[in-house]
Structure 1
Amino acid sequence: MSNRIAAIARTTAAHAKPVALPVLFSVLMWASAAAGAVPIPGTPVPITLQTFVVMLAGLMLTPAQAAASVCLYLGAGAAGLPVFAGGMATASLVSPSGGFLIGFLPGVVVAALLKGAAKGRLTALRYFAACLAGCVVVVYAFGITMQSVMTGVPFVAVALASAGFIIGDLVKAAVAALAAAGISRL
């Protein structure tokens, strides 16, 4: 009987991990938004640590798990839970900053697909490049486009106003890449 219970426990644990990690990262996305937001003059989009958590999800989860974590997070907000910056919910998805939130989904998948295997001395550099491609370029493309369309401000003007986020996102990408590369060695 104890062998059967042990086998059931192993099977349950094996199935729980793929589900638990996306849930954990979606909760971390909410916590990073709830921790506070720093406004940037000239743009309705605040600085939060959400992109950092999205970067970590892309680097530490499979593409499917990373996508699931962002879908859970966006779904919670779409359902009316106050999980976005400033305690916002559904309205954030159709606001000038909504494109950045929506861009998290393709961005995290691109990062997860580009990260490659965690081996060798260049792991952190590959991870950094994956974060830049997915969680900066892709997310900004969605965010700037939606903000331009919703506000009627030319794309180039929105892109220039959003440039204030670049330095912070470069730092977040570097920290996420170094952290994920270090954790992968454990």
Structure 2
Amino acid sequence: MSALTSAATPRPGAVLADLLPASSSARARVRDVALVLGGAALTGAAAQLAVPIPGSPVPVTGQTFAALLVGAGLGAGRGFLALALYAVAGMAGVPWFAQASAGVGIPSLGYVFGMVLASLAVGALARRGGDRGVLRTAGTMAVGTAIIYALGVPYLALSTGMSAGEALAAGLVPFLLGDAVKAALAMGALPAAWKLAGRQD
């Protein structure tokens, strides 16, 4: 079976990025590098879609949604590398964190660390079919979101001197509705992409 044929056939253990054809191992490496760079850039672009929250140093952004989609679409390895690149470049000064911020002093940095780990977890779940049905996608997105908050909220408390309750009120509660909307979008988009891929066989 050729690489082109196998890439176009959805199979157990595949993620959406595996459907992109690569006729040789060298082309596959080029594809994977492009996907990692593209995943980092997508997350940085989505982070600029930001809405400030009164009383919170953390805005609502498209960043978390992009990070979870990158993890699910690229798989654990490529998704992790894409988000790690995003995190390292942002800490080094590339202004593509939320609201064109950068560096290591921002109070929302814990959420970025959470996105790196969430992309790994979501990508691993996607390889087990966690993005191929509405309910499974909802569960996958919930796991990734929980990881982001598990790192983001404590970091917010430590970096700002907030109490645990204050950090939850400022860094979790205002985002729950938006997270539900993002999960609903993913529940529609990812299974639909797999159905489209299936019709190509």
- Aligned residue in 2 for 1:141: 150
RMSD between superposed Cα atoms in Å: 2.1
Which of 69, 92, 97 aligns to 2:108? It is 97
Aligned counterpart in structure 2 of residue 60 of structure 1, from 73, 78, 92: 73
Question: How far apart, CA to CA, are the structure 2 residues paired with 1:62 and 1:140?
Answer: 21
* d(CA) in 2 for partners of 1:25, 1:177: 19
How many pairs were matched up?
Answer: 174
C-alpha contact 1:22 1:69 (8 A) present in aligned 2: yes
1:116 deviation in Å? 4.6
Supply the distance in 2 between the matched residues of 1:19 and 1:183 (Cα, whole angstroms).
22
2:9 aligned residue: none
**1:25 partnered with 2:25:** no
Where structure 2 has 5 or more consecutive residues not aligned to the other structure, the ranges are 1-21
Q: Hey, what does 1:4 align to over in structure 2?
A: none
Offset of 1:111 from its aligned partner?
1.4
Unaligned runs of 5+ in 1: 1-7
Q: Partners of 1:103 and 1:176 in 2: how far apart?
A: 19
Q: Which residue of 2 aligns with 1:3?
A: none
What is the aligned partner in structure 2 of residue 114 from structure 1? 125
Instruction: Give the alignment of 1:126-137 within 5 angstroms.
Output: 126-134=136-144, 136-137=145-146
TM norm structure 2: 0.79
Query: Counterparts of 2:127 and 2:78 in 1: how far apart (Å)?
Result: 15
Verify the 8 A CA contact 1:55 1:173 in the aligned structure 2. no
Q: Report the CA distance between 1:33 and its aligned residue.
A: 1.7
- Pairing of 1:1-186 with structure 2 (within 5 A): 10-34=24-48, 36-90=49-103, 93-118=104-129, 123-134=133-144, 136-161=145-170, 162-185=172-195, 186=197
Structure 1 contact 116–126 (Cα < 8 Å) conserved: no
Query: Are 2:130 and 2:137, in contact at CA under 8 Å, matched by a contact in 1?
Result: no
SS at match of 2:51: coil
Percent identical among aligned pairs is: 32
